[in-house]
Chains A and B, each alone.
Chain A
Amino acid sequence: MATLAAPARATAPASTQSGLWSWIATTDHKRIGTLYLWTALAFFLIGGLEAALIRTQLARPNMGFVSADTYNQLFTMHGTTMVFLAVMPLSAAFFNYLIPLQIGARDVAFPRLNAFSYWVYLLGGIFITLPILFQVAPDAGWFGYAPLTTNQFSSGPNIDFWVIGLQVLGVSSLAAAFNFITTIINLRAPGMTLMRMPMFTWMSFVVQFLLILAFPPITVALVFLLMDRFFGTTFYAIAQGADPLLWQHLFWVFGHPEVYILILPAFGLVSEVLPTFSKKPLFGYNVMVYSGIMIGFLGFGVWAHHMFAVGMGAVADSIFSLMTMLIAIPTGVKIFNWIATMWAGEVRFTVPMKFAIALIAMFTIGGISGVMHSSPPADLQQTDSYFVVAHFHYVLFGGSIMGIFAGIYHYYPKITGRFLDERLGNVHFWLNFIGMNLTFFPMHFSGLLGMPRRIYTYDAGQGWDLFNLLATYGTYLLVIATAVFVWNFVRSRTRGAIAGGDPWGAATLEWSIPSPPPEYNFAQIPTVTSRYPLWDLKDPSWHEGEDSHGDTGTPGPSPLREETETHTAKSLGIPMPYPTAKPAFTALGLVVMFSGLLFLRNDLFAVAMTVTLGGAAMLIGGLYAWLTSPLE
């Protein structure tokens, strides 16, 4: 499969670091990306297990597999886990691993801040996940509507974990976003203009802006809830005149951009996979960029379509309906551009390509049911029914997860130096594809037949039985598919076929260096003259007769070359950041500080103060030590 003879090498290059401590203290974006990947996959399995339990309970009418209370915790944690602990961090794994490689940089702009983001994510994720083992997990749905989540209606510690946990996870996402914005703006290799950036980097760039603008509103909404729960404020106290829609609005001001935060990285990944396996440049690169920016911008103007059922009035309904229909246009543009990319290409149906094509098809189904909701009268029928559940699983599973799997199969050889097994990959793909449709397609029907979401059981004879049973079978198929994937993922690390630097014949910078990449990434920072530098290198005449793809044809002082051997950073004289555990320690301080609040619930004021101040001291001490020590 490799187009160039590459040295048979799959072990890590002469890395100076190994062992557990080296992972805790790492500031290497690739190792942090790998940490994100493993952690997020672990949470993906946990979220999937929760889904399997939910579907088992719903397999037949009036099942008593789990209690209503447990069921509430399961669906809340399934949503929270998949959104905040699985899909977002899986995207973050790719941001970390790929952005510096795609733009020709040696690391991110702030390597230690990057480590901090990861550790906050890991600790926050554990914080919010552990309670389910003790039956005190959050239980008010992943969007935690207040006043349902106030003390009046949720007096246990369940929601405390959710409020504090999400607040902590927000810190991680924000810190990472500032880091990647700076990295993409400022660490691009010579010649890597904005309009030559790989599409994954472009979509990631848009996502970082969505993150920095969408997380503050939910931070504020969570602060209000936290203060209501712990300090007796009245933000969501209806008896004091509070508006029950305040939370909904603040949450969805965050929540809708969040939808694009979940999908745009997957769009970026398939935009790398499709041209590679079609041996054609991405169709309409500029339009793809602009439509991505457009989606990001319009994404801030559609939030209230989640709330048509609350009765906002004709004007508001009309505006948000219009905006929602509008946002379908740039999204549709992307779909057509992907199809046009494959058109008349030399298409190779590898596993990543199959996942990428599946994204196009499945996301289109989810997108179309999404446009159906944009009409308020239709939405009134569909809202809070299984039809909506079907819709967002088609965009999140059919879109985000398919895209992420495409990315994992595509980039696994780069990350590990070995291929994932293609045969197992095909089994995984087909089981996953069939299982997904078997799970979620019937939900369209049960939803239109009136089945509300989030009910823990239902009576027979309402026409829902068959659809629920099919969905449960589909879920079991997905469990098998995922088991095949996990087996492949773990096994291929040591047994997979060895991949060279550029195993797929791809075009962008990350493929010009060995797999796995050396710690310094590029021995010599490349100079870029077009969007597809490796194709230019291998066949300078490949795009004759087509447009220039940003090609200026004037190579810079250090023209691109394919690196096939690795040295140590030291022998090349490249300064590398010192390994340091200070970011991890600071992250621990942050999480300890927030968790002190938990003790207020039991009136343990002294304990709460001790833990919070202790955590704050760790945070400040860690930060001080971090800021006063040199990076490299």
Chain B
Amino acid sequence: MSHDAKSPAHAHPTGATYLKVAVILTVITIVEVWAYYIPALVASPLFNPSLIIMSAAKFAIVVLFYMHLKYDHKLFKALFTGPLIIAGATIIALLFLFAKISL
């Protein structure tokens, strides 16, 4: 973990960055909902994975920029990503155990 915790030098994003992020989030959401209404896409085997990827991208963008984890102390990254990994692994393991997904 970093040594200069108190250094004020972490570059703060500006209002413009926040707006850009909002636009990106909105666009991804529109694409998600649009895909939902195209039967050919919904039937495709790539539908679920691509939705999950888009959702994960939105998740990561909010966490990195709005929760400013990208600019913040490493400790907070550790406090969040550790539990997130365990939570994600638990979901996957449970879905496997209940035969919702298979190896």
Please tell me if A52 contacts chain B, counting CB pairs below 8 Å: no
Please tell me if A480 contacts chain B, counting CB pairs below 8 Å: no
Across the interface, do A249 and B75 meet the contact criterion of CB distance under 8 Å? no
In A302-357, the 8 Å CB interface with B consists of: 304, 312, 315-316
Across the interface, do B83 and A212 meet the contact criterion of CB distance under 8 Å? yes
In B34-74, the 8 Å CB interface with A consists of: none
Whole-angstrom CA separation of A245 from B96 in the bound complex: 13
Q: Contact string, B68-103, partner A, CB cutoff 8 A, digits 1/0?
A: 000000010000001100110110011011100001
Residues of A within 8 A of B94 (CB): 249, 253
Q: Contact string, A285-304, partner B, CB cutoff 8 A, digits 1/0?
A: 00000000000010011001
Q: Say whether, besides A185-B75, A209-B82, A300 and B90 are in contact (CB < 8 Å).
A: yes
Residues of B within 8 A of A301 (CB): 89, 93
Across the interface, do A316 and B97 meet the contact criterion of CB distance under 8 Å? yes
Residues of B within 8 A of A245 (CB): 97-98
In A190-240, the 8 Å CB interface with B consists of: 209, 212-213, 217
Across the interface, do A213 and B83 meet the contact criterion of CB distance under 8 Å? yes
Whole-angstrom CA separation of A213 from B96 in the bound complex: 20
Residues of B within 8 A of A185 (CB): 75
Q: Say whether, besides A249-B94, A316-B97, A300 and B82 are in contact (CB < 8 Å).
A: no
> Separation in Å of the A485 CB from the closest CB of chain B?
38
Partner of B86, one of A213, A243, A304: A213
**Residue count of chain A within 8 Å CB distance of chain B:** 16
Interface of B is mostly: helix
Residues of B within 8 A of A316 (CB): 96-97
Whole-angstrom CA separation of A15 from B82 in the bound complex: 42
Across the interface, do B97 and A253 meet the contact criterion of CB distance under 8 Å? no
Residues of B within 8 A of A315 (CB): 103
Whole-angstrom CA separation of A30 from B75 in the bound complex: 28
Across the interface, do A249 and B89 meet the contact criterion of CB distance under 8 Å? no
Residues of A within 8 A of B90 (CB): 217, 253, 300
Across the interface, do B97 and A304 meet the contact criterion of CB distance under 8 Å? yes
Across the interface, do A243 and B98 meet the contact criterion of CB distance under 8 Å? yes
In A244-299, the 8 Å CB interface with B consists of: 245, 249, 253, 297
Interface of A is mostly: helix
> Separation in Å of the B40 CB from the closest CB of chain A?
32
Residues of B within 8 A of A249 (CB): 94, 97-98
> Separation in Å of the A293 CB from the closest CB of chain B?
10
Residues of A within 8 A of B82 (CB): 209
Residues of A within 8 A of B83 (CB): 209, 212-213
Residues of B within 8 A of A253 (CB): 90, 94
Whole-angstrom CA separation of A182 from B6 in the bound complex: 17
> Separation in Å of the A146 CB from the closest CB of chain B?
15
Whole-angstrom CA separation of A315 from B97 in the bound complex: 9
Residue of B nearest to A181 (CB): B79
> Separation in Å of the B3 CB from the closest CB of chain A?
11
Residues of A within 8 A of B103 (CB): 315
Across the interface, do A300 and B86 meet the contact criterion of CB distance under 8 Å? yes
Whole-angstrom CA separation of A206 from B90 in the bound complex: 19
Residues of A within 8 A of B89 (CB): 300-301
> Separation in Å of the B73 CB from the closest CB of chain A?
11
Whole-angstrom CA separation of A348 from B100 in the bound complex: 57
Residues of A within 8 A of B93 (CB): 301
Whole-angstrom CA separation of A297 from B82 in the bound complex: 10
Residues of B within 8 A of A297 (CB): 86
Residues of B within 8 A of A213 (CB): 83, 86-87
Whole-angstrom CA separation of A300 from B75 in the bound complex: 22
Residue of B nearest to A257 (CB): B86
Whole-angstrom CA separation of A1 from B94 in the bound complex: 55
Residue of B nearest to A253 (CB): B90
Whole-angstrom CA separation of A513 from B9 in the bound complex: 39
Whole-angstrom CA separation of A300 from B92 in the bound complex: 13
> Separation in Å of the A140 CB from the closest CB of chain B?
23
Residue of A nearest to B94 (CB): A249
Residues of B within 8 A of A304 (CB): 97
> Separation in Å of the B59 CB from the closest CB of chain A?
18
> Separation in Å of the A238 CB from the closest CB of chain B?
15
Whole-angstrom CA separation of A217 from B82 in the bound complex: 16
> Separation in Å of the B100 CB from the closest CB of chain A?
11
Residue of A nearest to B79 (CB): A181
Whole-angstrom CA separation of A243 from B97 in the bound complex: 12
Across the interface, do A312 and B75 meet the contact criterion of CB distance under 8 Å? no
Residues of A within 8 A of B87 (CB): 213
> Separation in Å of the A210 CB from the closest CB of chain B?
10
Whole-angstrom CA separation of A185 from B1 in the bound complex: 11
Residues of A within 8 A of B86 (CB): 213, 297, 300
Whole-angstrom CA separation of A312 from B94 in the bound complex: 11
> Separation in Å of the A131 CB from the closest CB of chain B?
33
Whole-angstrom CA separation of A213 from B93 in the bound complex: 16
Residue of B nearest to A250 (CB): B94
> Separation in Å of the A508 CB from the closest CB of chain B?
23
Chain B interface residues toward A at CB < 8 A = 75, 82-83, 86-87, 89-90, 93-94, 96-98, 103
Chain A interface residues toward B at CB < 8 A = 185, 209, 212-213, 217, 243, 245, 249, 253, 297, 300-301, 304, 312, 315-316
Given contacts A209-B82, A213-B83, 19 further A-B contacts (CB under 8 A): A185-B75, A209-B83, A212-B83, A213-B86, A217-B90, A243-B98, A245-B97, A249-B97, A249-B98, A253-B90, A297-B86, A300-B86, A300-B90, A301-B93, A304-B97, A312-B97, A315-B103, A316-B96, A316-B97
Residue pairs across A and B with Cβ atoms less than 8 A apart, 27 shown, are: A185-B75, A209-B82, A209-B83, A212-B83, A213-B83, A213-B86, A213-B87, A217-B90, A243-B98, A245-B97, A245-B98, A249-B94, A249-B97, A249-B98, A253-B90, A253-B94, A297-B86, A300-B86, A300-B89, A300-B90, A301-B89, A301-B93, A304-B97, A312-B97, A315-B103, A316-B96, A316-B97
Q: For the complex of A and B, list the 8 residue pairs with the smallest distance between their C-beta atoms, beginning with the closest.
A: A300-B86, A213-B86, A213-B83, A316-B97, A249-B94, A253-B90, A312-B97, A315-B103
